[in-house]
Structure 1
């Protein structure tokens, strides 16, 4: 009796502050042994669709060639192109990269509803938002040679220095908080659940759902 293949489960997402604007991608990977890895990245000038593509590309790159992969994304742009062969009018450079990574593995693309009840997809979204804000997890960046354009790693030292300088400039009643959704630091006036979240639309939506 044949055994089921050992599969990787990859959740990939992209985000952009403005479109175009600073963007980020986020990936959550569960390997066949159940080990979970999180990755994210930043692009200073991009679009939401490019970040959705980058999330899928980087998620597959993290699995190894020949792997069996289920890749889940809330981007119909990505999933429908890969499963229904939708026409591609833009971003041909990234589509070429994604096709190459998919061909090198046995990949099943699945669409999931964004901002819904799937906690892993929501985590990938939060990682993408962190990336868009320039906040990259400590072990989240892949080697520079695997990237299609320059991206930067956030520095905890720089972040602390900025926070310390900002703290000295706060007005009465203001405080520095870390967004409960994306993890970015922001200035809060206090009061109300919304003030546990930064001002980005996705994070405020998350606040109002609570």
Structure 2
């Protein structure tokens, strides 16, 4: 006899300080036994809609494939696109990720009013705002869980010109914490100077 699918209630919310601007996503996941997991993340330059999508994606990723999930969001952009098939004009990369996570689970999308009397939705909003402010305080959150940032031509030009100006022993590396490029001044330097990244670097040394 096949085991019963796990059931989850997921609240997902996004936040952006400016549109575009620094953004964050927040997720609260509750299983049938009442166990609650909280997650949040940060993106340095994004939009509110992208953070709403990232919240839904990460909320589903916090459940196993095959699970039965009720995902609640105060974003009509997300919920109506998934239930009423609103036209998707932007953010195709994230829509593809959300579709993939949805297809591997039995997901019901429900809209809830934002900043209302639902305490769990309000908690997801708090987590998203904390993420936008780089306060990744949620249980189980990695130090900087971020959406990938595509390189543009200006970045490549600056990196090429900077490489010519590097001193002996310096190199351009990608931070293992936030994913941004930085100038490394010694071998084995995997983290940039951001406080959260340095916290993660020092935490790794104590493991």
TM-score, length-scaled by structure 1: 0.67
Alpha-carbon distance in 2 for matches of 1:154, 1:113: 35
Alpha-carbon distance in 2 for matches of 1:23, 1:70: 24
1:155 aligns with 2:196: yes
Alpha-carbon distance in 2 for matches of 1:92, 1:136: 27
Listed as ranges, the gaps of 5+ residues in structure 2 are 150-176, 179-193, 200-207
Q: 1:95 to 1:143 in 2, by over 3 A?
A: farther
Match of 1:119 in 2: 119
CA contact (8 A) 1:14 1:24 kept: yes
Q: 1:33 to 1:82 in 2, by over 3 A?
A: same
CA contact (8 A) 1:26 1:39 kept: yes
Alpha-carbon distance in 2 for matches of 1:22, 1:143: 16
* Equivalenced residues, count: 154
TM-score, length-scaled by structure 2: 0.68
Task: Show structure 1 runs of 4+ deviating over 4 A.
Answer: none
Q: Secondary structure at the match of 2:121?
A: helix
State the shift of 1:45 in Å: 0.4
1:110 aligns with 2:110: yes
Q: 1:132 to 1:154 in 2, by over 3 A?
A: farther
CA RMSD of aligned residues (A): 2.5
1:73 aligns with 2:73: yes
State the shift of 1:142 in Å: 5.2
Listed as ranges, the gaps of 5+ residues in structure 1 are 159-210
Alpha-carbon distance in 2 for matches of 1:28, 1:104: 20
CA contact (8 A) 2:143 2:196 kept: no
Alpha-carbon distance in 2 for matches of 1:117, 1:67: 27
Alpha-carbon distance in 1 for matches of 2:92, 2:198: 37
* Structure with max Cα Rg: 2
